[in-house]
Amino acid sequence: AQSVTQLGSHVSVSEGALVLLRCNYSSSVPPYLFWYVQYPNQGLQLLLKYTTGATLVKGINGFEAEFKKSETSFHLTKPSAHMSDAAEYFCAVRHNQAGTALIFGKGTTLSVSS
Amino acid sequence: NAGVMQNPRHLVRRRGQEARLRCSPMKGHSHVYWYRQLPEEGLKFMVYLQKENIIDESGMPKERFSAEFPKEGPSILRIQQVVRGDSAAYFCASSPTADSGNTIYFGEGSWLTVV
């Protein structure tokens, strides 16, 4: 069975500071990995995903994540936080076999202060 | 190019009533997923459907909950005899194929309140 652990349910940073949201996964086979963002009372929007190829993945809004198989991690980073980045972020894993569902972590709420 | 459409956005039901949540996937998408979101618990997978087929229902409660995705029309998540614990946001998502590398697109959610 696959699972995702997001370390830290709440992360607070100052505007302009580095954003680091941690995600570790458990999977018996190399999975596909995703980061989604959710703004209040809205659905989820894909930030980026890793399926195959380059392990450093760039996404929207300046975010990127690196797949590290040896550490079973897929941490999300952004060099400089903006106020508009305040939201809830979800890491998700999916088996690379067709016909499987996306399994989410519990989420990390990012707060950005001025 | 409409995204995943869910309705109603907000639904209030009394205990014991039935709740029906509808989801129209993105155009060209034949795979639908339902998730439930509770505060501090993230999104819990409920069911994965393809038209006229249930692919994976491992996350569905054994009783009172059912889902369908007919050949024509939207996918329906049905909750019978609702209880207070069913109050949550229910999200529908869709993808074009079963390929696990596909992006799964989410709707805006349906918020169910049981009073």
Residue A51 to residue B42, Cβ atoms within 8 A: no
Widest CA span of chain B, in angstroms? 40
Which residues of chain A, if any, have pLDDT below 50?
Answer: none
What pLDDT sits at residue B102?
84
In chain B, what percentage of residues exceed pLDDT 70? Answer: 99
* Predicted confidence (pLDDT) per residue in B53-95, tens digit: 999 999 999 999 999 999 999 999 999 999 999 999 999 999 9
Q: DSSP string of A4-24?
A: EE-S-SEEEEETTS-EEE--E
Q: Comparing B101 with B44, which gets the higher pLDDT?
A: B44
- State the pLDDT at residue B112: 97
CB contact under 8 A, A90 and B40: no
Of A52, A95, A102, Cβ closest to residue B104: A102
- pLDDT score, position A97: 78
Per-residue confidence (pLDDT) for residue B41, from 0 to 100: 81
Residue B1 confidence (pLDDT)? 53
- Determine whether the interchain pair B101/A36 forms a contact, defined as Cβ–Cβ distance below 8 Å: no
Contacts of A52 in chain B (CB under 8 A): 101
**DSSP codes joined into one string, chain B:** ----EEE-SEEEE-TT--EEEEEEPPTT--EEEEEEEETTTEEEEEEEEETTEEEE-TTS-SSSEEEE--SSS-EEEEE-S--GGG-EEEEEEEESSS-TTSPPEE---EEEEE-
Q: Measuring CA to CA, which residue among B23, B34, B30 is closest to residue B61?
A: B34
The two beta strands, B110-114 and B10-13, are parallel
| Closest in A43, A46, A101 to B56, CB measured | A101
Nearest chain B residue to A5 by CA: give it.
B42
What is the sign, positive or negative, of the torsion defined by CA atoms of B21, B75, A92, A26?
positive
Average pLDDT over residues B28-42: 90
Average pLDDT over residues B86-105: 91
Confidence of residue B10 (pLDDT cuts 50, 70, 90): very high
Q: What pLDDT sits at residue B99?
A: 82
